[in-house]
Amino acid sequence: MKRISALLLTLVMLFTLTACGGGSNPPAQDNTPPAQSDGGQDAPAPTPAPADDANLTATQKIIKEAEGMSLEDLAKKAIEESNGKTFFGVGNSSRGKSALPLFIEYLQSIDPSYSMEFDWQQPKNNKIFDQLTADSLKPEGTFAMTLIQDGNQIESKMVQTGILDTFIPKEWAEANGTTADAYDGYLALQTLNKVFMYNNTGSKTYDNCWDFVAEGEHGLYMDIDSEIVGKNFLYMLTEDTYAGWLKDAFNALSADEQAYFQPTIKAMESEAADLGLGADGAYALAWIKLWVESYNAQTDDGPICNTLVDKSATNQFGLLVYSKLRSVEESSSVSVNNINVAAYDDGYTGIGGYGYCHYLFVTDNSPLPWTACAFIAYMTETVDGFSAWGKDMGGYSSNPTVAEGTEAQYGHSKGGMAEDGTTVEFEAKNDRGYDWWTTEGKLVLEDPTYCADVSFTVGSWVEMLTKYSAG
């Protein structure tokens, strides 16, 4: 519902929602890193509301009404609208397919006669934007809603074009100490993190983020042309706060280590000036250049995890989704205990990884807008609704109440829970939570506004770098 005007794009970094289990303030525009509590996350990209109701589309009018309603009231509207029909959703996460049956069960708890079929699609190779764009050309679309990532393209291709509308559930807003009218931003289901991990069966350690781009290092990383949020990570490093983190980490290196990186940093000073970056921009560009020209490109995070947890992967490291550790099957040669999460090591300095959001939107030509709003509210306002994602460490609900309930159920801070309900202890799986990651863990957070603003300048510069070829 809330549209972004291209004239209003600014370079912003946002503060966050508050402590897990308590209320929070709406995100504030600032250039300091967002500081949030366990489980909450900022939802960047200011989206001013239309001037008056006359400018609202039919779906936006429904959303405006829905934003004042409880989950139970929305559920009654959904039952009335979609009973006996088929609900089509599309998303970057397959877990939507797991959440929909739970949502239907919830609606049936209110009306046992309710029934709804569903179809959940997960386009590959970043085709979700093409699919939503094509569907938007119909007077009434096929897809009722979407769960989507990559804030840069969401802003430029989906929101500014009017294809997707933001819905802010009433009880989600209350849990975060705000209201739908006061909240400016997209609705995030969760923030996920990708973190630096290394195989610990050898003698090598990584105690500084510059170690990952040192001479001869080739980290395993999902290629930035395969998963575009990886490019957003690189863009965000040039933002003043994160560039400052890289400079601080550089200053913590020994003189010999600094001597290796200094020529590259010096060479990037003119590039940083040309790109209009801040005082520490050269450090960001140097790290980006060394990373792109050294990482060993992989097709997916799953194989990266499978490689690193094997004892044969001595002295290898990667940057991958934290939650992949949950699926590791222990054996004589494979164990989570064969890896370290770099940021958890005593004395580690610099960025520990990066975080990006799964956002929820209603399509502007949604065939079932009430049901879409109810489903979105169910996922963001209840532990059961979030459970399809909540079972994984490294995925933090944007609702502090749901985040608290999720931690109580799954015990991620204690290595996760086994099927029999006992605690399984693996140091690398002891998730320290969103609040820790975005402060001490120095997680670099995607900001759609900043990414969109520098996607042409910094983005074009990144495209000119020569990638490492393992062959």
> Do 52 and 368 form a contact (C-beta atoms < 8 A)?
no
| 15 or 96, higher pLDDT | 96
| Whether pLDDT at 4 is above 60 | no
> Do 16 and 396 form a contact (C-beta atoms < 8 A)?
no
pLDDT of residue 80: 98
Least confident stretch, 122-131, 176-185, 262-271, 443-452: 122-131
pLDDT of residue 125: 74
Q: 368-379: per-residue pLDDT in tens?
A: 999 999 999 999
Looking up tokens 């086994």 gives: 418
Domains and CATH numbers, the chain: 6-191+355-418 (3.40.190.10), 192-352+448-463 (3.40.190)
Beta-sheet pairing, 353-363 with 187-199: antiparallel
| 133 or 416, higher pLDDT | 133
pLDDT of residue 372: 98
> Would residue 353 be called left, alpha or beta, if left means φ above 0 and alpha means ψ between -120 and 50 degrees?
left
pLDDT of residue 419: 61
Tokens of 85: 């029909």
Q: 79-119: per-residue pLDDT in tens?
A: 999 999 999 999 998 899 999 999 999 999 999 999 999 99
Q: 434-443: per-residue pLDDT in tens?
A: 999 999 999 9
Q: What is the mean pLDDT of the chain?
A: 89
| 210 or 21, higher pLDDT | 210
pLDDT band at 471 (very low <50, low <70, confident <90, very high): low
CA distance 173 to 271: 42
Q: How far is CA 466 from the centre of its chain?
A: 27
Four-residue CA torsion sign, 69, 73, 77, 78? positive
Q: 113-146: per-residue pLDDT in tens?
A: 999 999 999 988 779 999 999 999 999 999 999 9
| Whether pLDDT at 33 is above 50 | no
pLDDT of residue 226: 84
| Whether pLDDT at 469 is above 60 | yes
